[in-house]
Structure 1
Amino acid sequence: MKIDAALVLVIGLALSACAQTNIQPMSKDTFKVSTVAAPACGQNGARNVTFRTAAIEVIRRGGDKFIIVGDTANSEFWSGDHNQAMVVKVIPEGSAEARNALSAREQLGPTWQEALAKGAPVTCD
C-alpha cells in the first residue's frame, strides 16, 4: 500500500502541534509562564510545554532549583486551544526551601543543555 506524502505531512503536523509561550517577570525571583497550545496538543501537552519552559527559564536566570507557586489551565471552547499558566519561584541553592524544590536540570533530563539552547518548546511531542 502506497502512502501519499501529503497525507504523511498533514499527520505529522497534526501530531507535532504548535505551542506559543510567553514569560512575564513578576518579581526578582518569580515569573509567570503562559502557553497557548493547539487542540492537537491536548491539555497535558500544553502543561508539559509550560513546565519545560519554566525549567529552561530558571536555568537562564542562573538558578537550578524552583517551585511552582501557581497553576491554571483552561481550554477555549470555540478554537479548541489549550491555555496553561504557571507561576514559578526560583529558589536559591542552600536555602531551607531548596531541599523540597525541583531541579531544573533534572526535570529537563540529561540533554538539558540542548533544551536550553533550543529555548521554549514549540511542539507538544
Structure 2
Amino acid sequence: MSKDTFKIATNAAPACGPNGARNVAFKSASVEVIRRGYDKFVIVGDNHNSDFWSGAHEQDMVVRIIPEGSREAANALSARQQLGDDWQEQLAKGSPTTCG
C-alpha cells in the first residue's frame, strides 16, 4: 500500500468467532510490524465479514507503522506488548493461522 502502511487479511474457522478472527489479524499485524524493523503501529482501517452459510470469519486491517520518537509514537500500540512476553517465540513461529 505504501512504505509505512500495509494490509492484513485473515480467515478464521467458525469456532473462532468474530473476536477470534480479530485476534488472529491483530497478532499477524504485530508480527509483520516487528519483521519490518519497527515496534509501534496504529490500525487505520478495520473490516469484518462473516459468512452465514459456512460460518467462516474474515478480518481485514490496514496497519500504519509509526517510527519511534515521532510525535505519534506516544499514542501508538507496541507490537511487542501486543504479542506478550514471549513475543520473540511468536515472531519465530510467524503469523498465526488460527485462533487459540
What percentage of residue pairs aligned between the two structures are identical? 72
Return the match for 1:86 from 58, 61, 86: 61
Instruction: Tell me the matched-pair count.
Output: 100
Consecutive aligned runs of 4 or more in structure 1 exceeding 6 Å deviation: none
Q: Does residue 59 in structure 1 map to residue 34 in structure 2?
A: yes
Quick check: 1:120 aligned with 2:91? no
**Counterpart AA for 2:33:** V
1:40 to 2, 8, 15: 15
Distance 1:80 1:113 in 2: 32
Name the CA distance, whole Å, in 2 between partners of 1:70 and 1:87.
Answer: 5
1:107 is aligned, of 58, 82, 88, to 82
Q: Find the counterpart in structure 2 of residue 10 from structure 1.
A: none
SS across alignment from 1:53: helix
Q: What is the alpha-carbon distance in structure 2 between the residues aligned to residue 58 and residue 77 of structure 1?
A: 32
Is 1:69 matched with 2:56?
A: no
Tell me how far 1:58 sits from its aligned partner. Answer: 0.1
Larger Rg: 1
Q: Deviations over 1:32-73 (max 9, x none)?
A: 001111111111100000000000000000000000000010
Tell me which amino acid in the other structure corresponds to 1:119. Answer: G
CA RMSD of aligned residues (A): 0.6
Rounded Cα–Cα distance in structure 2 between residues aligned with 1:110 and 1:38 = 26
Corresponding letter in the other structure for 1:86: M
User: Structure 1: any 5+ residue segments left out of the alignment?
Assistant: 1-25
Structure number with higher relative contact order (C-alpha < 8 Å, ≥ 6 residues apart): 2
Q: Does 1:29 align with 2:4?
A: yes
SS at match of 1:34: strand
Stretches of structure 2 that go unaligned for 5 or more consecutive residues are none
